[in-house]
């Protein structure tokens, strides 16, 4: 029996579509590599969803997730990925525990009743406590906000009423003490260790995926392109 040949025109069209698809796959992988980065815990500068475990945007979409998992075949890559997800879940858990302990520490502090503290008072203290645990040094640039009373830390107002030098110094002194106390008493070291574990896995995944891209090791079928290969 003679095999029915696919008409040359159809072959041409399939080839064109396949090349377009592989181009999109490459762009998707590039985007995804950039997303393999756990947000800095308590960061005020790189905001992220605090209410849930971090997940790359490309993976949230089921179709794009399917493409990634079928065009990147490295088993080591997806093993690292499983461990990374576990690490991100631990980070999320630790963040929530540390926040609770920090709130308790704040309640124990002898804060002046007359002062008007903002939400960022604790928020920036958590952020800087993580930085202190990581860098082993203080980097706290307190300022007096222009045209108003109170104290700011970087771009964030932490207190709204201090006006005399004594009051300003007291707010700054107590905030520093809170940063130090959160850094040493809430399990921040555990969070840092878990964050380093996640970072290490991110580096490994980025390397494998980048090598696959550079060597064109992505030419596998997925459900969107499998009919184009025949």
The site for Zn ion (CB under 5 A) is made up of 222, 224-225
C-alpha 188/C-alpha 126 separation (Å) is 10
- From the list 111, 230, 128, the residue with the least C-alpha distance to 173 is 111
End-to-end CA distance of the chain: 19
C-alpha 150/C-alpha 158 separation (Å) is 8
Residue 205 or 225: the one with the smaller Cβ distance to Zn ion is: 225
The least CB distance from residue 77 to Zn ion, in Å, is: 17
DSSP annotation of 153 reads: E
Residue 10 or 219: the one with the smaller Cβ distance to Zn ion is: 219
Residue 58 or 174: the one with the smaller Cβ distance to Zn ion is: 58
Q: Per residue, what are the HEC states of 58-91?
A: HHHCHHHHHHHHHHCCCHHHHHHHHHHHHHHHHH
Residue 25 or 125: the one with the smaller Cβ distance to Zn ion is: 25
Residue 95 or 225: the one with the smaller Cβ distance to Zn ion is: 225
C-alpha 54/C-alpha 46 separation (Å) is 13
- From the list 78, 75, 66, 76, the residue with the least C-alpha distance to 222 is 66
CB neighbourhood size of 208 (10 A)? 20
Residue 68 or 205: the one with the smaller Cβ distance to Zn ion is: 68
The least CB distance from residue 22 to Zn ion, in Å, is: 7
The least CB distance from residue 70 to Zn ion, in Å, is: 6
The least CB distance from residue 13 to Zn ion, in Å, is: 16
- Write the CB contacts of 220 (distance below 8 Å, at least 6 apart in sequence): 70, 71, 73
The least CB distance from residue 219 to Zn ion, in Å, is: 9
The least CB distance from residue 15 to Zn ion, in Å, is: 14
- From the list 81, 78, 67, 61, the residue with the least C-alpha distance to 29 is 67
């Amino acid at each position: 029996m003679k095999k029915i040949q696919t008409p040359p025109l159809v072959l041409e069209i399939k080839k064109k579509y396949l090349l377009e698809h592989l181009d999109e796959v490459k762009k998707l992988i590039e985007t995804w590599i950039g997303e393999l980065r756990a947000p800095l815990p308590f960061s005020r500068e790189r905001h992220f969803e605090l209410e849930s475990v971090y997940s790359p945007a490309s993976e949230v979409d089921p179709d794009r997730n399917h493409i990634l998992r079928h065009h990147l075949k490295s088993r080591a890559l997806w093993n690292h990925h499983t461990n990374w997800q576990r690490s991100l879940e631990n980070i999320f858990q630790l963040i929530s525990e540390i926040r609770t302990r920090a709130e308790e520490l704040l309640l124990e502090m002898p804060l002046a009743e007359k002062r008007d503290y903002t939400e960022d008072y604790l928020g920036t203290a958590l952020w800087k406590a993580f930085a202190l645990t990581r860098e082993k040094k203080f980097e706290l640039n307190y300022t007096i906000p222009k045209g108003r009373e109170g104290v700011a830390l970087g771009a964030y107002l932490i207190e709204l009423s201090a006006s005399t030098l004594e009051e300003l110094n007291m707010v700054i002194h107590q905030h520093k003490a809170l940063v130090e106390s959160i850094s040493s008493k809430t399990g921040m070291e555990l969070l840092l260790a878990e964050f380093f574990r996640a970072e290490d896995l991110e580096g490994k995944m980025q390397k494998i995926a980048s090598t696959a891209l550079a060597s064109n090791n992505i030419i596998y079928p997925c459900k969107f392109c499998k009919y184009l290969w025949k």
